[in-house]
Amino acid sequence: MAYVITDPCVDVKDKACVEECPVDCIYEGTRTLYIQPDECVDCTSCEPACPTEAIFYEDDVPADQQQFIAINKEFFDEIGSPGGAADFGVFDGDHPAVAALPPKG
């Protein structure tokens, strides 16, 4: 199990959660942030730091946001578990479902 970043983060990417994450497992795509499920230690630090309330424990993701559980996992199919977002940098792209969302704002 891990924490999941959902739709309210798309096109916002506040990154307060990144600053709070002690294991550096929150990676940045073009339009949103993603939590690497194999690197997440379920410490809960990211959830209260999120100003858009986009982060949920996997079992608590709202029904209308359930697709983001798979989106967060599948984002890492290509890049795997890099071992730290800071060293990895920004990924040029997003999960196809996120890329297909209309721009917010």
Q: Across the chain, what does the average pLDDT equal?
A: 96
Read off the pLDDT of residues 35-69 as tens digits, 9 standing for 90 and up.
999 999 999 999 999 999 999 999 999 999 999 99
Domain 3-91: assigned CATH number: 3.30.70.20
Q: What are the domain boundaries of the chain?
A: 3-91
What's the pTM? 0.96
Read off the pLDDT of residues 72-89 as tens digits, 9 standing for 90 and up.
999 999 899 999 999 999
Is the C-alpha dihedral spanning 7, 5, 87, 100 positive or negative? negative
Alpha helices in the chain (DSSP H): 16-20, 46-49, 67-79, 85-88, 96-99
